[in-house]
């Protein structure tokens, strides 16, 4: 199954009412005033698309941002949106590549059978001359049976073990935050990186609003000396852009990739956390 799909591919499949299209655009962190991505969705979206609010669908029993909810909670919430685990699902975002891979990863981690990402998102859809619509879309409630993938989600205890063994942990934050020369956007957190972390800012994987071609992705990972045959864990500030790098790794042929869900927001606030800086 191809992960990335083109606008014309999706346009053809919109004839099937079972196809579910999700706008999964999150506001970028640190932008003032905040971008109202839901309002932008209401103003313009792919016909039939519903808004997949990653924040609303996250775990609100913790103060960590965007953490996965329980399987039962996720099942109930997405079923109410009209998303079935057996339906063909296509996720997109309004601009570039930032949060849609997180939604793709969430759905796949909880057992959705067929999840695609629209390459180039809404912008590519428009550029293909395809129609859009406005207003909220609501689908009838569906049935979502979760089958969580135990290898997809990496916990704090697991990341500690990996760091002690110098396993491959890729950090998707900016080079300045990784080095400790730029501050974190979330108050109270030190910048810097985990011992042995490998810096691959997610923006390096993006070009003209799309992920770079597979050969270009492979060159980036080869330049960082990643062993694609061995397990790799991705991390970032909150677990969102870590999914961009995870997606890039899978497209490039990595054999086993997990995502540290708590990411830097969890790791850096631990009293015993070792934080390295390159200054």
CA–CA dist 231, 119 (Å, integer)? 26
Out of 49, 236, 240, 246, pick the active-site residue.
Answer: 236
Annotated catalytic, 236?
yes
pLDDT in tens, 62-72: 999 999 999 99
Q: Would you say residue 128 has pLDDT above 70?
A: yes
Distance (Å, whole) CA 122 – CA 134: 13
Residue 1 has pLDDT above 80, yes or no: no
Selection from 144, 150, 153 nearest residue 75 by Cα:
144
For position 154, what pLDDT does the model report?
98
Average confidence (pLDDT) over 172-181: 97
Output the six-digit token pair for 157: 């205890």
Name the packing angle between helices 214-223 and 242-251 (round to 10°): 110
pLDDT (tens digit per residue) in 136-151: 999 999 999 999 998 9
Q: What mean pLDDT value characterizes the chain?
A: 96
pLDDT at 28: 84
pLDDT the model gives residue 279: 67
Q: Is 6 exposed, middle or buried (0-12, 13-18, 19+ CB in 10 A)?
A: middle
pLDDT at position 6 over 70: yes
Cα–Cα distance measured from residue 206 to residue 212, given in angstroms and rounded to the nearest whole number: 5
Which pLDDT belongs to residue 47?
Answer: 98
Name 163's Cβ contacts closer than 8 Å, sequence gap at least 6: 169, 194, 195, 196, 274
Asked if residue 14 lies in contact with residue 48, where contact means CB atoms within 8 angstroms, the answer is yes
Q: Tell me: the pLDDT tens digits for 67-97?
A: 999 999 999 999 999 999 999 999 999 999 9
Rounded Cα gap, residues 236 and 221, in angstroms: 16
pLDDT (0 to 100) of residue 65? 95
Q: What is the pLDDT of residues 103-123, one digit of tens each?
A: 999 999 999 999 999 999 999
Which residues 6+ apart lie within 8 Å of 243 measured at CB? 101, 102, 104, 105, 234, 259
Q: Which residues pair with 232 in a beta bridge?
A: 168, 257
The count of C-alpha atoms lying within 13 angstroms of the C-alpha of 163, restricted to the half-sphere facing its C-beta, is: 23
Residue 179 has pLDDT above 90, yes or no: yes
Give 241's pLDDT tier (boundaries 50, 70, 90): very high
Q: Specify the 3-state DSSP secondary structure of 45.
A: strand
- Looking at the predicted structure, is the pLDDT value of residue 165 above 80? yes
Whether the CA torsion 265, 271, 276, 279 is positive or negative: it is: positive
Q: What average pLDDT does range 122-140 have in this prediction? A: 97
Rounded distance between C-alpha atoms, residue 84 and residue 87, angstroms: 5
- Tokens representing residue 205 in the block: 């994987």
What's the pLDDT at 12?
97
Cβ atoms of residues 199 and 192 within 8 Å = no
Least confident residue range of 24-38, 171-185, 207-221, 264-278? 24-38
In this prediction, residue 79 carries a pLDDT of 98
> In degrees rounded to 5, what are phi and psi of residue 203?
-65, -25
């Amino acid at each position: 199954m191809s992960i990335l799909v083109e606008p014309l591919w999706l346009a053809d499949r919109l004839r099937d009412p079972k196809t579910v299209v999700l706008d999964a655009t999150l506001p970028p962190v640190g932008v003032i005033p905040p971008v109202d991505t839901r309002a932008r969705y209401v103003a313009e979206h792919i016909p039939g698309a519903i808004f997949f609010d990653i924040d609303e669908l996250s775990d609100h029993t913790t103060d960590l941002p965007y953490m996965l909810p329980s399987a039962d909670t996720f099942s109930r919430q997405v079923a109410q949106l009209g998303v079935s685990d057996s339906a063909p699902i296509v996720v997109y975002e309004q601009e570039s590549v930032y949060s849609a891979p997180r939604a793709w990863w969430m759905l796949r981690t909880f057992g959705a059978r067929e999840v695609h990402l629209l390459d180039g998102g809404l912008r590519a859809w428009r550029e293909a001359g395809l129609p859009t619509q406005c207003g909220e879309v609501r689908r009838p409630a569906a049935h979502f049976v979760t089958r969580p993938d135990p290898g997809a989600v990496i916990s704090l205890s697991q990341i500690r073990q990996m760091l002690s063994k110098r396993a491959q942990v890729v950090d998707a934050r900016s080079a300045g935050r990784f080095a400790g020369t730029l501050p974190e956007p979330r108050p109270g957190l030190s910048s810097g990186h985990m011992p042995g972390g490998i810096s691959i800012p997610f923006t390096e994987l993006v070009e003209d609003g799309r992920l770079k071609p597979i050969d270009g992705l492979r060159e980036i990972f080869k330049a960082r000396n990643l062993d694609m045959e061995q397990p790799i864990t991705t991390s970032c500030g909150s677990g969102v852009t870590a999914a961009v790098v995870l997606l890039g790794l899978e497209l490039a042929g990595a054999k086993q990739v997990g995502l540290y869900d708590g990411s830097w927001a969890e790791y850096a606030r631990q009293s015993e956390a070792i934080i390295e800086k390159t200054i």
